[in-house]
Structure 1
Amino acid sequence: MASAFRPEQARIPPALALPKAISNLFCFTYRFKIGLCQLTVTPDKERNIKHARKVIKEAAQKGAQLVVLPEIWNSPYSNDSFPVYAEDIDAGHDASPSTAMLAEVSGQLKITIVGGSIAERCGDKLYNTCCIFGTDGKLKAKHRKIHLFDIDFPGKITFMESKTFTAGETPTIVDTDVGRIGIGICYDICFQELAMIYASRGAHLLCYPGAFNMTTGPSHWELLQRSRAVDNQLYVATCSPARDSGAGYIAWGHSTLVGPLGEVIATTEHDEDIIIAEIDYSILEQRRTNLPLAKQKRGDLYRLVDIRRLDAHCRV
């Protein structure tokens, strides 16, 4: 009877299998430590960059092979600040001191860095952009925040990110020395379809640099992380700025690593901190065998269509 559900048709094109490690080539490691760096952010950009460098090195010294930074870690989180602190990432070097530091440190320490996000200037547009650097210090991928944070809770918080930023157009999945990682930024985590696309593309881990606030944070910051993890049976890591009660925008904090059953593996409070926790990809297949969601999807009733991958598939 189960075959009548056509689970293979529930995702179009069909989901890719999890990438496997090839021991003799050592494509990536199955078990490693991740460092989530919950940073204090100030109006002093140079200080923020120097401090991030120091904290990344500290995380690496504690064994982290993958280090994740927060959303907008080099400037205050405000529409007034974004244009002032924006960098031309593609030009690099002096035009983008924040990413130049990340490239230098990742290559120097031989670690993978999911570089939180910074305001990126590209022509006459600004983007909220995350850069991922490999162990060779080279830029492996760049994710521009797809879903812009436009919300209105009267009497609590109103923020319109679209007043300054342009929305990104492309889901970002990247193969690294520590597995296949899907990237989202903050509000991207609210949209389950993006996470489902990453899972369908064979992601082991989703990383969401974020800056949830004192209204949205208590209500669903952890809930969303656990939901994305358990729905897709993979790891989810988030990294927030530390809380500054005197800032115009106050971050919730609580950077977290969640496992494929939705279990909270490690988390912190709201002060500056570094989480060092272990990820073990060997349990992903085990969890998917224990709870075979992929084999039980009702392709006869619903389908997730990965538009970009379908277009590429049709062109072949």
Structure 2
Amino acid sequence: MASSTTHAPVLKQPVKLACVQLAAGPDKTANLLHAADKVREAASAGAKIVVLPECFNSPYGCDHFPSYAETLLPSPPSRDQSPSFHALSAMARDNGVYLIGGSIPELATTTTTGPGESEVKKTYYNTSLTFSPTGELLTTHRKVHLFDIDIPGKFRFRESDVLSPGNKLTMVDLPEYGRVGIAICYDVRFPELAMIAARKGCFALIYPGAFNMTTGPLHWQLLARARAVDNQVYVALCSPARDMSAGYHAWGHSLVVDPMAQVLVEAEEKEAVVVAELDGNKIEEARKGIPLRDQRRFDVYPDVSQGKVNFEEP
């Protein structure tokens, strides 16, 4: 039986969200300037939340991660340590938008001292940075699930050969609008992150990602719609544009899906800025019409959002 429980809206007012689908070449400075142009274009279209793709400042691939990695801690890093950090901050501030800065390769170093010697250990992450409209860093997300797959005869990739995983679930409050959950690419295949974020009040789940030409046509849109229908929230996936001259061929097709799992807007494979308006009434309509939130049987199965969840890096 549906409950008559009254729930506060999770999205306080309508907001336009843009996914910026762009291609990254080998020149980091050029990539950052190009991203700035496209963020400006998204803001001019009325977007107040702008999303960039995974590895937007560099080519995607294990061979590239170390050479493009930037030191992010302590925050704020110097411009020499992290030009991408400062470029993203400026993009958000100059355009007055919340900027979910796709992801960039991150370098973290630790020094251990032994008898008569010290050793510097380098650890690499795939990290997303989110900035406020004033250019303030709001949160970071290190990719939790590393992309290690092997589809015989079609595609093999092992991020864990170079990268280490993050260890927390990431949500961020955007005061005028509400809370969003942020994860990266392969994280979308793990519904637990999405379920927890939705049950903690997120109105949207946002995934910068770079699916390939094998898994993209199979699962990219399917996973976006699945996370939306399971959780009755908006879902945005933002991909790089496809560059067949690069070593990694991204599927593209950045998209935004509504709480009833309908695709609101979707790019093709080329560079594009796609914009959708998110409306809290649509979330409430979905949840009242199909009242999953009041019908879950936690007497039969556990609520994953009430278990041990890391919201901070250990």
TM-score (structure 2 length as normaliser): 0.89
Corresponding residue number in structure 1 for 2:45? 62
Query: Secondary structure of 1:93's match?
Result: coil
Q: What amino acid is aligned across from residue 272 of structure 2 in structure 1?
A: D
Give the deviation of 1:305 after TM superposition: 2.6
Query: Secondary structure of 2:140's match?
Result: strand
Q: Identify unmatched segments of 5+ residues in structure 2.
A: 110-121
Structure 1 residues 309 and 82: alpha-carbon distance in aligned structure 2, compared to 1, 3 A threshold:
closer
For 1:204 and 1:189, the matched residues in 2 are separated by: 16
Corresponding residue number in structure 2 for 1:222? 221
Give the deviation of 1:282 after TM superposition: 2.2
Structure 1 residues 148 and 309: alpha-carbon distance in aligned structure 2, compared to 1, 3 A threshold:
closer
CA RMSD for the aligned pairs?
Answer: 2.0
Structure 1 residues 122 and 228: alpha-carbon distance in aligned structure 2, compared to 1, 3 A threshold:
same
For 1:112 and 1:122, the matched residues in 2 are separated by: 25
Corresponding residue number in structure 1 for 2:199? 200
For 1:237 and 1:56, the matched residues in 2 are separated by: 16
Give the deviation of 1:118 after TM superposition: 0.4
Structure 1 residues 111 and 42: alpha-carbon distance in aligned structure 2, compared to 1, 3 A threshold:
same
Structure 1 residues 63 and 2: alpha-carbon distance in aligned structure 2, compared to 1, 3 A threshold:
closer
For 2:2 and 2:249, the matched residues in 1 are separated by: 49
Query: Secondary structure of 2:33's match?
Result: helix
Give the deviation of 1:89 after TM superposition: 1.7
Structure 1 residues 32 and 298: alpha-carbon distance in aligned structure 2, compared to 1, 3 A threshold:
same
Corresponding residue number in structure 2 for 1:184? 183
Paired residues in the alignment total 293
CA contact (8 A) 2:168 2:311 kept: no
Give the deviation of 1:178 after TM superposition: 3.5
Q: What amino acid is aligned across from residue 105 of structure 2 in structure 1?
A: A
Q: Deviations over 1:81-116 (max 9, x none)?
A: 000000012224221111211101211221100100
Structure 1 residues 296 and 216: alpha-carbon distance in aligned structure 2, compared to 1, 3 A threshold:
same
2:106 is equivalent to residue 120 of structure 1: yes
Q: Identify unmatched segments of 5+ residues in structure 1.
A: 9-15, 22-29
Give the deviation of 1:179 after TM superposition: 2.4
Structure 1 residues 309 and 191: alpha-carbon distance in aligned structure 2, compared to 1, 3 A threshold:
closer
Give the deviation of 1:135 after TM superposition: 1.1
Give the deviation of 1:121 after TM superposition: 0.7
Corresponding residue number in structure 1 for 2:251? 252
How do residues 1-316 of structure 1 correspond to structure 2 at under 5 angstroms? 18-19=9-10, 21=12, 30-90=13-73, 91-123=77-109, 124-176=122-174, 177-306=176-305, 307-308=307-308
Give the deviation of 1:48 after TM superposition: 0.4
For 2:156 and 2:34, the matched residues in 1 are separated by: 30
For 1:77 and 1:174, the matched residues in 2 are separated by: 26
Query: Secondary structure of 2:139's match?
Result: strand
For 1:166 and 1:186, the matched residues in 2 are separated by: 15
Give the deviation of 1:310 after TM superposition: 9.4
For 2:219 and 2:127, the matched residues in 1 are separated by: 23
Structure 1 residues 288 and 41: alpha-carbon distance in aligned structure 2, compared to 1, 3 A threshold:
same
Structure 1 residues 192 and 42: alpha-carbon distance in aligned structure 2, compared to 1, 3 A threshold:
same
Query: Secondary structure of 2:48's match?
Result: strand
Q: Deviations over 1:255-277 (max 9, x none)?
A: 00000000000001100011022
Structure 1 residues 128 and 299: alpha-carbon distance in aligned structure 2, compared to 1, 3 A threshold:
same
Moved over 6 A (4+): none
For 2:44 and 2:251, the matched residues in 1 are separated by: 27
Q: Which moved more, 1:272-281 or 1:219-228?
A: 272-281
Structure 1 residues 43 and 20: alpha-carbon distance in aligned structure 2, compared to 1, 3 A threshold:
closer
Q: Which moved more, 1:280-289 or 1:110-119?
A: 280-289
CA contact (8 A) 1:179 1:205 kept: no
Higher helix share: 1
For 2:2 and 2:218, the matched residues in 1 are separated by: 37
CA contact (8 A) 2:55 2:104 kept: yes
Structure 1 residues 2 and 18: alpha-carbon distance in aligned structure 2, compared to 1, 3 A threshold:
closer
For 2:186 and 2:215, the matched residues in 1 are separated by: 10
- Matched residues, percent identical? 48
